[in-house]
């Protein structure tokens, strides 16, 4: 998958203090990080603009999204490990959908609904059941 020009993949050795107005989003357990200027990524038409799913698609990182980012499944489930305060509030629609998610945790979010609204560092973990789903050939075709 192509990576948008405005996004830069980094590894732990390259990670320094973030410049103002920059976002660093790290996906666990792969520990892949991407950096971009807040609010500057092109919209990839899946999930809310600027959502964790939108960033993943922009950066070529696979995050399952069986319903196409419409808050109608839970395959984009992530657990936010750092930077919850940089994200939008959980909407009622997202909360209702999350209630149906496997392995729901205190800081679970739907990647398609969780928008990074402020610059800073965000770390999310893709639950193992979701990774296994992809490994077993259940990936979406959207
Ligand atoms: S992609 Fe289906 S709820 Fe997020």
User: Does 51 contact ligand 1 (Cβ within 6 A)?
Assistant: no
Atom in ligand 1 nearest the alpha carbon of residue 65: 1
pLDDT digits (tens, 9 = 90+) for 21-40: 999 999 999 999 999 999 99
Cα(136) to centroid(ligand 1), Å: 19
Domain 20-135 annotated CATH 1.10.150.20? no
pLDDT of residue 9: 84
pTM equals 0.88
pLDDT digits (tens, 9 = 90+) for 47-94: 999 999 999 999 999 999 999 999 999 999 999 999 999 999 999 999
Cα(125) to centroid(ligand 1), Å: 16
Domain boundaries defined on the chain: 20-135
* Contacts by residues 51-54 (CB-CB < 8 Å, ≥ 24 positions apart): 51/111, 51/112, 51/113, 51/114, 51/115, 51/116, 52/25, 52/76, 52/78, 52/109, 52/111, 52/112, 52/114, 52/116, 52/122, 52/124, 53/111, 53/112, 54/112
pLDDT digits (tens, 9 = 90+) for 85-130: 999 999 999 999 999 999 999 999 999 999 999 999 999 999 987 7
């Amino acid at each position: 998958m192509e990576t948008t020009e405005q996004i830069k993949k980094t590894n732990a050795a390259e990670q320094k203090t973030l410049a103002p107005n920059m976002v660093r989003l790290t996906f666990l357990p792969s520990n892949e990080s991407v950096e971009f200027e807040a609010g500057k990524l092109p919209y990839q038409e899946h999930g809310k603009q600027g959502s964790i799913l939108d960033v993943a698609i922009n950066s070529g990182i696979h995050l399952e999204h069986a319903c196409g980012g419409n808050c109608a499944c839970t395959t984009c489930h992530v657990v936010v490990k750092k930077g919850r305060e940089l994200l939008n509030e959980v909407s009622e629609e997202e909360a209702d959908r999350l209630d149906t998610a496997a392995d729901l945790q205190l800081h679970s979010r739907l990647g398609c609904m969780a928008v990074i609204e402020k610059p800073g560092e965000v770390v999310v973990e893709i639950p193992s059941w979701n990774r296994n789903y992809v490994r077993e050939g259940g990936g979406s075709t959207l």
